[in-house]
Amino acid sequence: MGVEEIRKELKETIRDIPDFPKKGIIFKDITTILQDADKFKKSVDILAGRYRNKKIDKVVSIESRGFIYGAVLAYKLNAGLVLIRKKGKLPYRTYSVSYELEYGTDTLEIHQDSIKQQDNILIVDDLLATGGTACAVIDLVKRLSGNIVELCFLIELSFLKGRKRIEETGQSIFSLIKY
């Protein structure tokens, strides 16, 4: 089965949840992929294959569903794992950034010692919507002088134009599934 067939299979597996977390939002539920060992493996293998020869030092993953793919990709790429968490969740000294998202505002934090200068960084999350979260993470990684190789998403909601917002920062993006 080729990559395009797998993309189609994964896209058909994702469940839409209307009006979650608030009215007017259609939530893309990836638990349907995660609970199917074959589909989860296929999605991870495609993503890991893309970065296998990119010399990734750290995978930066975003709370919370980004942790799932971030951890597996860090393992497969023999890279360290850096967690981006909501304010007050990390136990050591942090840098923080506030940002707007599709349905409100939030603050994210990173440990100050999590990235060394010029570490090659892969930023991973499950979903790209407006790009607010991703741009906030770009700011945090740059504050620590990391070299961002690419931003990687399982799903991209193209109609929300997050890709354009990220590309305006000069960063490269890859999304496995697009809506």
- Going by their DSSP bridges, the two strands 120-128 and 147-156 should be labelled as parallel
Is 93 annotated as catalytic?
Answer: no
Catalytic residue among 9, 63, 100, 102: 102
Structure tokens at 165: 């917002």
- Take residue 48 and report the two structure tokens written for it: 């890991």
Active-site position among 65, 85, 109, 156 = 65
Q: Is residue 143 annotated as part of the catalytic site, yes or no? A: no
Assign 3-class secondary structure to 156-170.
ECHHHCHHHHHHCCC
Rounded Cα distance between 130 and 67, Å, is 19
Q: Which residues are catalytic?
A: 65, 102
